[in-house]
Structure 1
Amino acid sequence: MTRRAPLNRKSGITFLSALQAVLPNARQTATVTETKPFRRARPCDAEWPTAEAWQDLYHQVGGRLLKPSDPLTVCRVDPHGKACRDFFANLQNPYYILDHLNLTQASGWVDAWTSQPSAYAVVARNASDVAAAVNFARNNNLRLVVKGAGHSYHGTSNAPDSLLVWTRRMDAITMHDAFVPQGCEGKIAPQPAVSMGAGQIWGHVYNEVTTKGGRFVLGGRCLSVGVAGLVSSGGFGEWSKQYGTAAANLLEAEVVTADGKIRIVNAGSDPDLFWALKGGGGGSFGVITRLTLRTHELPAFFGSAAMHVQATSDEAYLRLIEHFIDFYNLDLFNPNWGGQAVFYSDNRLDILMGSQGLDKAQAEDTWKPFFKLIQGSPDDYVIRQPLQVKMGVARAAWDPERLRKESDSTIPDPRPNAPIENNIRRSDMNEAGQYFHGFGSAWLPSTLLGDDRRKDLARMLFSASRHWTFALHFNKGLGGANPDVLATARDTATNPQVLEAFALAITGSEEPAVFPDIVDHAPDISAARKDAEANAMVVNEWHKLVPDAGSYVSESDYFLKDWQRAYWGSNYARLSDIKKRFDPGGLFTVHHGVGSEAWSEDGFTLVDAHHHRLPESTTKLVVDNEPA
């Protein structure tokens, strides 16, 4: 089990004992009746819940209703002081961010969003707490936000003036030797599985399932990513071609829907909602409170292969890309290999692949032809990092004791009394607190690996690299996967393009945590926009070759126009129908989530009533007679 950090003032949170003091002062008002579009209530509105109403919710959730503080107050008071310096230093630690309900793993996105705390937050310990928060938000017409680990690139786990449901403390993990979904007895064979609270993160899950339990569960590579967000987005692991997507491994979920009901959903109970939770996007259909995923037999070894090659000319770089694509198609396009290749504008290629089901000799034999080819052309290629093939016992892959000894790849959470599972991959350090400039992704179909298309693919990759760095993530695409993996993935809401994609192409630009109004910690907006333009040019090159390429919902452009088709393709119509059935009032609205086209950008105002059963309403326009 996970050790839990206490909730106190060090977390940037003030308890509700001084509730009256934080509410707006009483005002003398005049009212004018006016017809306006339906809008969620804000603290400045007359419709905002009274102190007594908040106090009632406080008691319903056992005192776990909090008012998050503004984490940037110390920097506004003294931008050059130690407290401000310490705050920004702490933002380099994803676990520090994880344990503070007033923070998100990204600080924002230029011209899009900035991380801001909610007005109130329920620190949920169980589904009943979540149901109380959902009912309160619905009955009081509040903007509702859900956050577990807070890794949303699009800022969907934060919104000012909202009520936040924070699931982080829902962290129980239970292993099952023979799990059968509720109500499916006699219909579905028992199988090994693991149940996890929605607030659990993958690093802790891997320790329980693999290190202690000797099994494998498909989850994210980043150890601080939350389980619920990865599953609901249809996320991938290093070896998804062998084990499928996180969504495809879902056996059952407990979820609180917009009507406040706590539902157990699986293939036999509410199958449509169950399907929507498998890749239909987080925060759109309800609040997931518990998930059960199938576990798999561990291979003997997990391994890696890495090398960095510098081409000496543009012509040599194009040939290098052609060689690598040929090699990938012949020897790596199979369930044994995942990982990525990174393409740079300075003609460098970094290869960072992961293996399963092979021993070291087999992995080294796989790479010998490619490495020999590179070595044989010293005038064209400079080997910046020679080929390194590493192999380790699979059961020890996430052993926290081992990770802490391997300081070359991971570092521990430096805070006193941090759980031993809190380890940070050095390659992920730059992601904590990051502020996005731009982003883009595209599924690349396996047809591009055909004999008549590989040169076209190589030329496209070369052209794209002229604008900005990008990577091919071979684990994020099920082309080349086992037939049973394709069958289970076909029964998810994820864009069907995933089934045929050999890789997901990703480009992006970012900088360490910044906030627009903080002295010495504000973004360079002009430079950020310039970077975003370069990212867009990379995506444009991809689309020249694959005009209809879809995009991965969790790693995509915030400003993507045709997001419904890009994220879900032909599945969107069914998702939209399920959304209207289970959330007719649009309580669960997130940026570019199913049904969000009916709402304003901030999620507060209904702009298209045809999507929901909410007619335009008569509201009161409040006129102040004196300042609040």
Structure 2
Amino acid sequence: MDRRTLLKAALALPLLPWTLKADAFAAPPFARVRPGGTGWPSAEQWEALNREVGGRLSVPASPFLGDATTRAEALAQIGNAFYIGDQPALTQTSGWFGAWDSRPSAWALAAESAADVAAAVRFARRHRVRLVVKGGGHSYQGTSCGPDSLLVWTRRMNRVELHDAFLPAGARPGTAPQPAVSLGAGAMWIDAYDAVTTHGGRYVQGGGCTTVGVAGLATGGGFGSFSKRFGSAASNLLEAELVTADGRIRVVNAYNDPDLFWSLKGGGGGNVGVVTRLTLRTHDLPDRFGGLSGEIAADSDASFLALTHEVLRFYRETLCNPTWGEQLRFTHDRRLVVSMVFQGIDKAAAEAAWAPFVAWVNARPAYAVRRPLRALDVEARHFWDAAFFREHAPQLIVPDGRPGAPSSHFVWKGDQDQIGWYIHGYASAWLPSALLRDDALRSLATAITEAAGHSSVELHVNKGLYGAPPDAIAASRDTATNPAVLDAFALAIVGHSGAPNYQGLPGAHVDAAVARRGADDVNAAYRRLRRAAPRAGSYVSESDYFQADWQDAFWGTNYARLLAIKRKHDPERVFVVHHGVGSEGADA
């Protein structure tokens, strides 16, 4: 269950055609007002908004700056992702060196309905106030906070509703209903999995980290542990409710406003509206889910290169299929760390699949097995069952231990290092399947080992869809995500991070020298990977804040269509996020 342990950094991608970029910059500006500046809403105007939304408007403040009781609780819960998510003033990512720091918004609306959200959008448009949205608060780009903004905080909009036979609004006669789940924008993936899998006996494609918000993940594309079998979350979206820039509440799907609907499927959160509810198809549940992990050390650069080449060949021949997901990590000190998951097979079959690779390693004295490759499996409906893990494998999870917390809430122990992390550098790239060919495999292995000499490299094989079944490929092709993902065998990630840096946190400090070295190492590793994959795209939800030519990197040939939809539905650019569609030249 040990998932991501790295961060990500700089990406320099080929230029878009000049005509597209010039056209993008022609969008009219939305001149925003700032707290204390001319045009900032008066206290009376904020109070009028507060009355309209039933008293759910407040001025958020860091709990580390509160009274003694509040500070003590915050310090005790600093490692609890659920506590952080419950604070309107905090975000799960606490900042990015040289880019942004997590600071509370000027005002926060604890929205409970789409009508609340619509009121906030109308207010922001009328007064030219920056609007930000937070569900899970995991944004690496800092899009869910801003000291000059009105925060729409959707945490309370967390209803989960299962459907045996869902039909989108306005569906044509004869449209077959599908099993599905509707999720409020404030729900986390653990809420979805608990309802759909633990209690419902089905599967919904979501994120691997249990505290990630459902809306942000799906609109960003949405890759999880089993995406190699079930596609992206975006590709499973059947319908969405959202508030557009005109303050209207719309229900969109393939039949109603299909352009808006398509743009929500991977076009990035906060680009064309505020999503308030999503409906995703659910799938038959496999018999079993499981994980396999281990660690092997090489005694020299040459043996590490040989190990890397062999595991890539083995992956191509045995693992590049819908059964397997998650990570192969290549470290700066010449270790291969395997942290993979599987579906539809049992523990014995998983270990048998890896037996030839284990035999190859054991036959060579250049390698030391630090942790033998071992598998665990469970009946699939227990994979996110907190009660089951408390009884049978408590070492794998960290429950929300606060009094009165939902008993279903936990995070995987391997995800704890992401709680409050402060990013120094981070980057991702989809690696095309051509790199797995015999004539390219040695060069790929060399690129990975040389990159790992600067900063450890992770290959997230579930976040590339090469090897996925035809239905998953077809559904994912009909999304706004960069089409490069369809031919990518993995998403490569490199990165570096530091301790939390929240406002008022005692001892919080960013060592600029350490951060700069970390960012430099990530950039050096990334440049080496880019030599092997010069046209690689990047996963928008896990990408470099300083991404060069981000339009092409995130969306490729889909960007022009996304930009046209943005202009149609948000011509004034009420919604602007960093490196979002149509954000060129805007103050995001």
Matched, 1:547 2:557: no
Aligned to 1:25: none
Q: Specify every segment of 5 or more residues in structure 2 that has no aligned partner in the other structure, as ranges.
A: 1-28
Moved more, 38-47 or 315-324: 38-47
> Which residue, out of 59, 64, 67, partners 1:67?
59
Aligned to 1:609: none
- Alpha-carbon distance between aligned partners in 2 of 1:188 and 1:438, rounded to the nearest angstrom: 47
- Counterpart secondary structure, 2:584: helix
Contact 2:64 2:503 in 1 (8 A): no
Superposition map of 1:513-532 within 5 A = 513-515=500-502, 520-532=507-519
- Counterpart secondary structure, 1:452: helix
| Residues 335-366 of structure 1: CA deviation (Å, up to 9, x unaligned) | 11111011111110001111111123322221
> Which residue, out of 555, 564, 570, partners 1:568?
555
Contact 1:515 1:523 in 2 (8 A): no
Matched, 1:312 2:309: no
Matched, 1:424 2:416: no
Matched, 1:393 2:385: no
> Which residue, out of 329, 343, 347, partners 1:360?
347
- Alpha-carbon distance between aligned partners in 1 of 2:503 and 2:135, rounded to the nearest angstrom: 25
Aligned to 2:450: 463
- Counterpart secondary structure, 1:206: helix
- Alpha-carbon distance between aligned partners in 1 of 2:261 and 2:566, rounded to the nearest angstrom: 12
- Alpha-carbon distance between aligned partners in 1 of 2:180 and 2:222, rounded to the nearest angstrom: 18
Q: Specify every segment of 5 or more residues in structure 1 that has no aligned partner in the other structure, as ranges.
A: 1-36, 604-628
C-alpha deviation, 1:70, in angstroms? 3.6
C-alpha deviation, 1:47, in angstroms? 1.2
- Counterpart secondary structure, 2:554: helix
Contact 2:62 2:504 in 1 (8 A): no
- Counterpart secondary structure, 1:283: coil
Aligned to 1:610: none
C-alpha deviation, 1:187, in angstroms? 4.8
Aligned to 1:404: 390
> Which residue, out of 226, 243, 262, partners 2:230?
243
- Alpha-carbon distance between aligned partners in 1 of 2:90 and 2:161, rounded to the nearest angstrom: 28
Matched, 1:414 2:414: no
Contact 2:427 2:542 in 1 (8 A): yes
Matched, 1:226 2:226: no
Higher Rg: 1
Aligned to 2:4: none
Aligned partner letter, 1:450:
R
Aligned partner letter, 1:361:
A
Contact 1:404 1:411 in 2 (8 A): no
- Alpha-carbon distance between aligned partners in 2 of 1:352 and 1:518, rounded to the nearest angstrom: 33
Q: Go from structure 1 to structure 2 and tell me whether the alpha carbon gap of 1:313 and 1:599 turns closer, same or farther (over 3 Å shift).
A: same
Aligned to 1:338: 325
- Counterpart secondary structure, 1:353: strand
Contact 2:106 2:150 in 1 (8 A): yes
Superposition map of 1:13-92 within 5 A = 39-74=31-66, 87-92=74-79
Moved more, 488-497 or 118-127: 118-127
- Counterpart secondary structure, 2:474: helix
> Which residue, out of 157, 173, 181, partners 1:186?
173
Q: Go from structure 1 to structure 2 and tell me whether the alpha carbon gap of 1:85 and 1:121 turns closer, same or farther (over 3 Å shift).
A: closer
Aligned partner letter, 1:393:
E
Q: Go from structure 1 to structure 2 and tell me whether the alpha carbon gap of 1:89 and 1:483 turns closer, same or farther (over 3 Å shift).
A: same
Contact 1:179 1:191 in 2 (8 A): yes
C-alpha deviation, 1:237, in angstroms? 1.3
C-alpha deviation, 1:515, in angstroms? 4.7
Aligned to 2:367: 381
Matched, 1:286 2:273: yes
Q: Go from structure 1 to structure 2 and tell me whether the alpha carbon gap of 1:85 and 1:67 turns closer, same or farther (over 3 Å shift).
A: closer
Aligned to 1:169: 156
- Counterpart secondary structure, 1:581: helix
Contact 1:404 1:423 in 2 (8 A): no
Contact 1:516 1:523 in 2 (8 A): no
Q: Which structure is higher in RCO with an 8 Å CA cutoff and minimum separation 6?
A: 2
Contact 1:127 1:289 in 2 (8 A): yes
Superposition map of 1:139-150 within 5 A = 139-150=126-137
- Alpha-carbon distance between aligned partners in 1 of 2:408 and 2:140, rounded to the nearest angstrom: 24
What TM-score, normalized by structure 1, do the two folds share?
0.87
- Alpha-carbon distance between aligned partners in 2 of 1:595 and 1:500, rounded to the nearest angstrom: 27
Aligned partner letter, 1:367:
W
Aligned to 1:111: 98
- Alpha-carbon distance between aligned partners in 2 of 1:294 and 1:544, rounded to the nearest angstrom: 39
Aligned to 1:497: 484
Superposition map of 1:192-207 within 5 A = 192-207=179-194
Aligned to 1:23: none
- Alpha-carbon distance between aligned partners in 1 of 2:506 and 2:466, rounded to the nearest angstrom: 48
- Alpha-carbon distance between aligned partners in 2 of 1:56 and 1:86, rounded to the nearest angstrom: 33
- After superposition, the CA RMSD in angstroms is 1.5
C-alpha deviation, 1:552, in angstroms? 0.8
Contact 1:515 1:522 in 2 (8 A): no
- Counterpart secondary structure, 1:352: strand
Q: Go from structure 1 to structure 2 and tell me whether the alpha carbon gap of 1:516 and 1:149 turns closer, same or farther (over 3 Å shift).
A: closer
- Counterpart secondary structure, 1:106: coil
- Alpha-carbon distance between aligned partners in 1 of 2:187 and 2:159, rounded to the nearest angstrom: 7
C-alpha deviation, 1:66, in angstroms? 1.2
Aligned to 1:153: 140
Aligned partner letter, 2:154:
T
Identity %: 51
Matched, 1:120 2:112: no
Contact 1:298 1:394 in 2 (8 A): yes
Aligned to 2:473: 486
- Counterpart secondary structure, 2:439: coil
Q: Go from structure 1 to structure 2 and tell me whether the alpha carbon gap of 1:89 and 1:437 turns closer, same or farther (over 3 Å shift).
A: farther
Contact 1:335 1:480 in 2 (8 A): yes
C-alpha deviation, 1:404, in angstroms? 2.3
- Alpha-carbon distance between aligned partners in 1 of 2:488 and 2:281, rounded to the nearest angstrom: 24
| Residues 470-522 of structure 1: CA deviation (Å, up to 9, x unaligned) | 20000001001101111110110000000000000001111120258866311
